[in-house]
Amino acid sequence: MAKSTFFQDFKAFAMKGNVVDMAVGVIIGGAFGKIVSSIVNDIIMPPIGWLIGGVDFKELKYEMPVNPLSVQEGVDPVPVTINYGNFLQTTFDFLIIAFCIFILIKLITKFTKKKEEPQPAAPAPAPEPSAEEKLLTEIRDLLKNK
């Protein structure tokens, strides 16, 4: 019986609108990230690399000297590299994705503000009757009762 309650609770949680919306957002965000990465890698970065002398950012790296303690006989030592070009490429990807999301959210809020119509003001409460009106109401009620 505890299992069925657990699964019912999980099903209720998983089917809430917020969870499903978030899952869809994550999936679309991943696909959007791939599109932006392609734009950066295939369209934006090649001209930038061409402008600075035909450099491919992903190929930029610093090769550290070989550690003499790790050299074995008969085996060519593999140098250790610091791939700062890949870091630059990933940073450009992030900045462009962040900028696109910023623009998208600004557009969404702009359209949602236009759709929201101002709510009509609540009707003002009836003004308090004057002393004369109160007196006349009492007289009317007394005459009705007789």
**Predicted structure pTM score:** 0.48
Q: What is the mean pLDDT of the chain?
A: 79
What number is the average pLDDT over the span 51-76?
76
37 vs 46, 54, 87, 96, 139, CA distance in Å? 13, 20, 13, 9, 84
User: Where are the chain's structural domains?
Assistant: 2-67+77-116
Which backbone phi and psi does 81 adopt, to 5 degrees? -120, 150
CATH of domain 2-67+77-116: 1.10.1200.120
Token representation of residue 138: 């009492």
Residue 73 in 3-state DSSP? coil
d(CA 33, CA 23) in angstroms, rounded, equals 15
Per-residue pLDDT tens over the stretch 99-141: 877 887 888 888 877 665 666 677 778 788 888 888 888 888 8
